[in-house]
Structure 1
């Protein structure tokens, strides 16, 4: 029995969670929905500046699951310490984990999800095996220890005069960081607000450093820890 849960900003991790749930013949629900007793938690989440997004970090400390598997979605550049941090934060046993490349939030490359690559993870989750996996600590890159600052330096949200104050972005924001079309310090630059704005009033600008970073060759690595 597996409870598939997800946290999503751009929507990519939700799509992958639904694909995982279909493979396991389960339902994919947002993070925070109640967990069934003795179920294995399969948590799908995006990598945020090579780390775990703050809401996911808080959830891992309090979810109450005894066993879990993680699928971390990253934009094909670097997943850093996201899985290592997730395992450290979780109070139970991590039986399997994976990092999966997806389309980056700042690009439109249409990167396809290879569901077949996760088949060994699904098999271990279904088997009921409870041995803990070893996840390497991973590399820390520039400003990975300060993801909020790194995010703000890399991408700037811009609100135009077309903003009507309708509140659509506020309701859609997974971080509850939008106020009258402006983000506060909790913003993780997932750009959901840009995508949902009915007036097209929100856009974003990337710093020259981030543009250069995104021009790097993608790693495109799906990696399993079993």
Structure 2
């Protein structure tokens, strides 16, 4: 489903050194995620979690190494092949990225409309998914009229309405209270039970302890085993 092989990633700098490549944000990252798996992506802020997710949902290509997503090697894939591949991936962004001028219904319907689905099918699918996330009554509301937890559930609904094969979520519980976080994780777990491969980035170890699953641990852009990673995090905390 997802394979990283010796992946390195650099970003181009701005300011006085605009255009120059910065240090590696990811270095020699190698892992494989099987189809239908649920995986935590763990590490402190700045560890590289968002960079890994951006490579997974094709927002970036690796600087070196190989990324394979849904059977496609992304570094060598023609740009014309990427839109169809992206439609097989659901993304929950840390900042939601909802469109304030669209209703909740139309925000969730957007991926289906971009895919050219018939309006009758869109109405049925969006109504079903809004009911599933407990927002059916909020269908005509603007995102600005919704609470943070409701916006997060709307973002989840938009990410899964097209039944993606791969779902990636970047700190999806960061703006939620514990009750809302549990509900959101239940929704992600149900998607996984239905066959979607799910990857969730978080730094909330308490949440991970409550919902145990395989985990990838990132620290300074490199993968570590859990014990070494925890030791490194603890040492940094002591140094302040």
Larger radius of gyration: 2
TM-score normalized with structure 2 length: 0.25
Higher helix share: 2
